[in-house]
């Protein structure tokens, strides 16, 4: 609500506003009010008052109120309400800008004529539903409008490319959030690999505050560039829509060019007050978690992975930086050979990995101040061993210990870098998700022990993995959704224990 001082000044000034071009008047009714004054030994005086008629033709266009004048009225009072709650009452004249006294939004409005002398006030008119709108409101977000954070909230690491007018979002669980008044929302997306079987990117659309990924609308991007209807047929009114990528970065580059509603965009929902950053590989993006072989984007759902599901339980903001096959020192992406550049710690300095399975360097380095997590969850190390398993298995016991120490060194160095960026964040080293859990267990536990001398905010945690507790296996021996649900519960419990963040939801039904 606007400041009281401004509103009082404008309300009084509005009494002098005249109705432009309004010739219609409303005659008063013949109803009379009789008032009698009686005092002992005093003559009784009776006053007859005529009740004014309520103003007709009440309307609000472009925030300006209009109504028919009433004969003998001295001024007019309006009432704004929302449901059964009265927002306020003000004296105004036809032509007054209601956005000067009330916030943008939907209201019921009524008006009454104020009498004087021989005329009594009219009753309030019937309620009329109106909407006060921002004159700068828009129904289309495109080009530089995609950077208008008062109209759209971006989730995860995203980048606007000026030349193409595209806003890229690569990582799992990245996307955007908008609020609009209307019934429908459409978007134009760009995507690569749409001609490749098993590579089509998938999105999930969550409507009106829904966060459960199983209750979202699935959208498969099948065109290199095309418009898709995200929601339609909603009741006319205010709605929120969150669009999240469920597939992973290396399957397809994805971007938004335009978002359109049949109404108008409003301010998006605010960022949640608790943030988690997840860093990992295939087990952090839901690789083949729906089952079937080989792994495809159709049988993989990163929003049903332990990462997003942990945030779901804690009602936390989610950022995932992960790529299947990548490791701390090497991975399947490097053919099992050590690399200084094609690792998760090196890639983390940038926005994402891409559909060519390389680090995205065109936008430059990521600004770590743009996302300050309360908790950082790391699930790495498995690919450092599995991608080089033959050579590792041929090593002597002493050489194996030295190899494990090299991977541990890399994890300690990475955590040290992350703590420099986010000194107040808790760091959780997760292990146990895959069959090479013994190696990762040693690396995670030893890294946490080595860091314990510097901080009490680093811990290691074992979680349910592939095939455990009767959960079965997804593609290529990866965890299923059932395993991820259990792991998410264990991680959420751990985060609650170390931070005090309460869980607000229970497990999804899958």
**What are the phi and psi torsion angles at 468 (to 5°)?**
-80, 150
* Stretch among 62-71, 132-141, 158-167 having the lowest mean pLDDT: 132-141
Q: What is the average pLDDT across 247-252?
A: 97
256-290 pLDDT, tens digit per residue, is 999 999 999 999 999 999 999 999 999 999 999 99
Whose CA is closest to 250, among 176, 302, 199, 290?
Answer: 199
CATH for the stretch 272-510: 3.40.50.1110
Q: What is the average pLDDT across 489-499?
A: 98
Q: What percent of the chain has pLDDT over 90?
A: 87
C-alpha distances out from residue 258 to 101, 139, 261, 354, 422, Å: 34, 11, 10, 22, 34
C-alpha distances out from residue 226 to 220, 229, 297, 349, 466, Å: 11, 10, 19, 31, 37
Name the band, by pLDDT with cuts 50, 70 and 90, for residue 43: low
Name the band, by pLDDT with cuts 50, 70 and 90, for residue 13: very low
- Architecture of domain 4-132 in CATH? Sandwich (2.60)
Residue 446: other Cβ atoms inside 10 A: 19
DSSP E strands, 310-438: 317-322, 375-379, 426-431
Is the confidence at residue 8, as pLDDT, over 50?
A: no
192-213 pLDDT, tens digit per residue, is 999 998 999 999 999 999 999 9
The order of strands in the sheet holding 128-132 is 85-92, 75-82, 105-114, 128-132
What SS3 class is residue 390? helix
Whose CA is closest to 256, among 123, 358, 166, 127?
Answer: 166
CATH for the stretch 136-270: 2.60.120.260
The pLDDT score that the predictor gives to residue 41 is 59
The pLDDT score that the predictor gives to residue 135 is 85
Is the confidence at residue 115, as pLDDT, over 80?
A: yes
pTM score > 0.75 for this model? yes
- Higher pLDDT pick, 436 / 195: 195
Name the band, by pLDDT with cuts 50, 70 and 90, for residue 42: low
* Stretch among 37-46, 117-126, 452-461 having the lowest mean pLDDT: 37-46
**What are the phi and psi torsion angles at 491 (to 5°)?**
-70, -40
Is the confidence at residue 318, as pLDDT, over 50?
A: yes
Residue boundaries of the structural domains of the chain: 4-132, 136-270, 272-510
Is the confidence at residue 35, as pLDDT, over 60?
A: no
């Amino acid at each position: 609500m606007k400041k009281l001082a401004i509103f009082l000044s404008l309300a009084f000034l509005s009494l002098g506003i005249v109705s432009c071009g309004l010739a219609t008047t409303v005659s008063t009714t013949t109803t009379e009010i009789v008032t009698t004054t009686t005092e002992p030994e005093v003559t009784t005086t009776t006053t007859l008052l005529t009740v004014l008629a309520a103003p007709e033709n009440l309307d609000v266009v472009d925030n300006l109120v209009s109504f028919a004048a009433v004969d003998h009225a001295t001024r007019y009072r309006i009432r704004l309400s929302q449901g059964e709650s009265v927002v306020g009452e003000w004296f105004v004249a036809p032509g007054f800008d209601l956005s000067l006294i009330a916030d943008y939004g939907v209201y019921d409005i009524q008006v009454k004529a104020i009498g004087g002398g021989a005329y009594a006030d009219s009753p309030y008119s019937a309620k009329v539903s109106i909407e006060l709108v921002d004159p700068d409101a828009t129904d289309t977000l495109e080009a530089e409008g995609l950077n208008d954070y008062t109209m759209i909230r971006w989730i995860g690491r995203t980048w606007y490319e000026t030349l193409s007018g595209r806003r890229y979002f690569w990582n799992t669980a990245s996307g955007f959030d908008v609020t609009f008044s209307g019934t429908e929302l459409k978007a134009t997306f760009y995507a690569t690999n749409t001609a490749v079987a098993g590579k089509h990117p998938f999105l999930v659309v969550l409507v009106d505050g829904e966060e459960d990924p199983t209750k979202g609308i699935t959208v498969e991007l099948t065109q290199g560039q095309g418009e898709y209807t995200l929601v339609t047929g909603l009741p006319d009114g205010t709605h929120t829509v969150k669009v999240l990528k469920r597939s992973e970065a290396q399957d397809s580059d994805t971007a938004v060019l335009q978002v359109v509603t049949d109404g108008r965009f409003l301010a998006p929902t605010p960022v949640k007050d608790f943030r988690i950053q997840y860093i990992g590989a295939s087990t952090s993006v839901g690789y083949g978690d729906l089952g079937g072989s080989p792994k495809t984007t159709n049988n993989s759902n990163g929003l049903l992975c332990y990462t997003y599901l942990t945030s779901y339980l804690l009602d936390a903001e989610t950022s995932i930086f992960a790529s299947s096959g990548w490791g701390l020192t090497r991975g399947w992406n490097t053919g099992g050979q050590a690399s200084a550049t094609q690792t998760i710690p090196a890639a983390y300095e940038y926005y994402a990995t891409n559909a060519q399975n390389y680090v995205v360097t065109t936008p430059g380095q990521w600004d770590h101040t743009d996302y300050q997590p309360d908790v950082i969850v790391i699930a790495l190390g498995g690919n450092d061993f599995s991608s080089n398993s033959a050579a590792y298995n041929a090593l002597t016991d002493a050489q194996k210990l030295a190899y494990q120490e090299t991977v541990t060194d890399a994890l300690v160095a990475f955590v040290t870098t992350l703590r420099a960026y986010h000194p107040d964040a808790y760091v959780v080293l997760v292990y146990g998700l895959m069959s090479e859990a013994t190696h990762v267990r040693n690396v995670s536990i030893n890294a946490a022990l080595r860091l314990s001398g510097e901080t009490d905010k680093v811990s290691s945690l074992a979680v349910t993995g592939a095939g455990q507790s009767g959960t079965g296996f997804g593609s290529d021996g990866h965890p299923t959704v059932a395993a991820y649900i259990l792991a998410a519960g264990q991680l959420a419990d751990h985060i609650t224990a170390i931070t005090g963040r309460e869980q607000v939801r229970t497990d999804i039904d899958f």
